[in-house]
């Protein structure tokens, strides 16, 4: 574990929340997704320095290599990084990081070509095992008896919900569907944006939440039922408007009757059950470390001695999205509809005007 320390008189910490969602609507019996889509996009941060000089550390997500057995579900075929940047380790996965000082406006970006595939696990409904078949290692990583940041399976309200909707005679597949049905019937989608996601109990109390909020609530209920579930983050493609936006969904472990098990995806906000579309680009998965999960929501730290004035913008620009000729049909009951973040990616700026010791951890 590497540690970076900085002692300063005034520090500005900019946290850019990687949320923003796609919302459900419509009523289709199935949707067709390209088997693969090849994306070319840039991820960019612009530092507009109006006065003074600042020191900065910028760390932004980078697409994962995703495997499903021997199949490669997501692959980065090529990438370039603007000068001064490099791939660094972020809790076991890659991020692009820049470190330096600047007294004038700078633009930092990487460009990537990513191939993403549609994967359907609905055919495993009859092959699903039961809760007692769940892998013990995953139960320890995503526990039912320990809270992890805003995922709170030990909360009495969460445990009561899990006990009321998950029958021990259910397969994990059936239990996973029951949890999704509960959220569909009790939580409305609302694009909140800005800052950190809500605690699962707050989402439950409000009756509304965005993609991150709903996924956190789902993970809390699933873990309370002793089903390992964890958050997955990345981008989602709006094919109607040619837009690539930040999004959050979840992964879940599905044990199989014949032994072993598979990781599956559920996009709660879009009601995508047991499939991953080629419109998803994954950049990070929760590893069961609450500190790592919290760190994901903060991509930039900068500091300077007053007076200084900085304006920061961040965003993704889609340059190309080329679908394969082959398509995959998936049975659904709702259509995906893109809900963009108003005004682009929201920024949270926190100013701490005292002598402060800042500790930034990176495994």
- Cα 354 to the chain's mean position, in Å? 33
Q: How confident is the model at residue 154 (pLDDT cuts 50, 70, 90)?
A: very high
Q: Are 18 and 246 in contact (CB under 8 A)?
A: yes
Does the pLDDT at position 5 exceed 60?
no
Does the pLDDT at position 19 exceed 90?
no
Lowest-confidence region among 18-27, 238-247, 250-259: 18-27
Nearest to 272 by CA among 14, 31, 18: 31
pLDDT for 240: 85
Q: Classify the phi-psi angles of 344: left when phi > 0, otherwise alpha if psi is within -120 to 50, otherwise beta.
A: left
More confident residue, 36 or 343: 36
For the chain, what are the domain ranges?
Answer: 119-291
**pLDDT per position as a tens digit, 51-69:** 778 888 888 899 999 987 7
Determine how many CB atoms are found less than 10 A away from the CB of residue 7.
10
Task: Please state the rounded mean pLDDT for residues 45-49.
Answer: 85
pLDDT for 6: 33
User: 49 Cβ partners below 8 Å, 6+ apart?
Assistant: 102, 103, 104, 105, 106, 308, 309, 310
More confident residue, 74 or 20: 74
Q: How confident is the model at residue 334 (pLDDT cuts 50, 70, 90)?
A: low
Does 119-291 carry CATH code 3.10.620.30? yes
In order of 68, 219, 249, 299, the CA distances from 252 in angstroms are: 13, 9, 10, 26
**pLDDT per position as a tens digit, 267-283:** 999 989 999 999 999 99
Give, to the nearest 10 degrees, the angle between helix 211-224 and helix 172-186.
140
- Report the chain's mean pLDDT, rounded to a whole number: 82
pLDDT for 55: 86
pLDDT for 297: 81
Biggest alpha carbon–alpha carbon distance for the chain: 66
pLDDT for 294: 87
Residues in the chain: 363
pLDDT for 305: 62
Q: Are 203 and 246 in contact (CB under 8 A)?
A: no
User: 304 Cβ partners below 8 Å, 6+ apart?
Assistant: 8, 10, 12, 52, 53, 54, 55, 310
Does the pLDDT at position 21 exceed 60?
no
Does the pLDDT at position 264 exceed 80?
yes
Give percent of the chain above pLDDT 70: 80
pLDDT for 295: 85
**pLDDT per position as a tens digit, 171-195:** 999 999 999 999 999 999 988 766 7
Lowest-confidence region among 91-105, 211-225, 244-258, 341-355: 341-355
pLDDT for 160: 97
CA angle 232, 91, 294 (to 5 degrees): 60
Does the pLDDT at position 344 exceed 90?
no
pTM, rounded to two decimals? 0.82
Q: Which two tokens stand for residue 58?
A: 């910028």
Q: What is the 3-state secondary structure (H, E, C) of the chain?
A: CEEEEEEECCEEEEECCCCCCEEEECCCCEEEEECEEEEEEEEEEEEEEEECCEEEEEEEECCCCEEECCEEEEEEEEEEECCCEEEEEECCEEEEEEEEEECCCEEEEEEEEEEEECEECHHHHHCECEHHHCCHHHHHHCCCCCCECCECCCCHHHHHHHHHHCCCCCEHHHHHHHHHHHHHHHCEECCCCCCCCCCHHHHHHHCEECHHHHHHHHHHHHHHCCCCEEEEEEEEEECCCCEEEEEEEEEEEEEECCCCEEEEEEECCCCEECEECCCEEEEEECCCCHHHHHHHCCCEEEECCCCCEEEEEEEEEEEEEEECCCEEEEECCCEEEECCCCCCCCCEEEEECCCEEEEEEEC
């Amino acid at each position: 574990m590497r540690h970076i320390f900085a002692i300063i008189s005034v520090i500005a910490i900019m946290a850019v929340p990687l949320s923003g969602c796609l919302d459900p609507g419509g009523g289709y019996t199935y949707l067709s997704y390209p088997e693969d889509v090849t994306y070319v996009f840039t991820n960019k941060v612009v530092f507009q320095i109006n006065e003074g000089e600042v020191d900065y550390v910028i760390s932004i997500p980078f697409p994962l290599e995703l495997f499903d057995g021997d199949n490669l579900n997501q692959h980065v075929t090529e990438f370039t990084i603007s000068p001064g940047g490099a791939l660094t380790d972020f809790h076991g996965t890659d991020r692009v990081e820049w470190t330096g000082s600047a007294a004038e406006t700078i633009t930092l970006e990487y460009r990537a070509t990513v191939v993403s595939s549609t994967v359907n696990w609905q055919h495993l409904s009859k092959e699903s095992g039961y809760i007692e078949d769940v892998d013990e290692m995953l139960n320890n990583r995503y526990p039912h008896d320990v809270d992890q940041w805003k995922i709170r399976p030990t909360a009495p309200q969460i445990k009561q919900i899990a006990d009321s909707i998950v029958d021990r005679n259910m397969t994990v597949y059936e239990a996973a569907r029951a949890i999704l049905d509960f959220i569909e019937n009790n939580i409305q989608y609302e694009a909140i944006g800005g800052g950190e996601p809500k605690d699962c109990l707050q989402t439950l109390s409000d009756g509304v939440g965005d993609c991150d909020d709903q996924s956190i609530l789902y993970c809390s209920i699933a873990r309370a039922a002793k089903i390992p579930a964890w958050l997955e983050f990345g981008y989602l493609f709006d094919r109607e408007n040619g837009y690539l936006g930040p999004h959050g969904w979840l992964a879940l472990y599905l044990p199989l009757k014949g032994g072993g098990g598979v990781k599956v995806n559920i996009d709660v906000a879009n009601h995508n059950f047991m499939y991953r579309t080629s419109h998803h680009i994954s950049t990070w998965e929760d590893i069961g470390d609450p500190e790592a999960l919290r760190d994901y929501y903060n991509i930039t730290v900068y500091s300077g001695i007053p007076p200084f004035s900085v304006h920061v913008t961040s965003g993704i620009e889609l340059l190309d999205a080329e679908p394969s000729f082959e398509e995959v049909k998936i049975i659904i009951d709702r259509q995906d509809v893109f809900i963009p973040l108003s005004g682009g990616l929201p920024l949270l700026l926190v100013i701490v005007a005292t002598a402060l010791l800042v500790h930034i951890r990176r495994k």
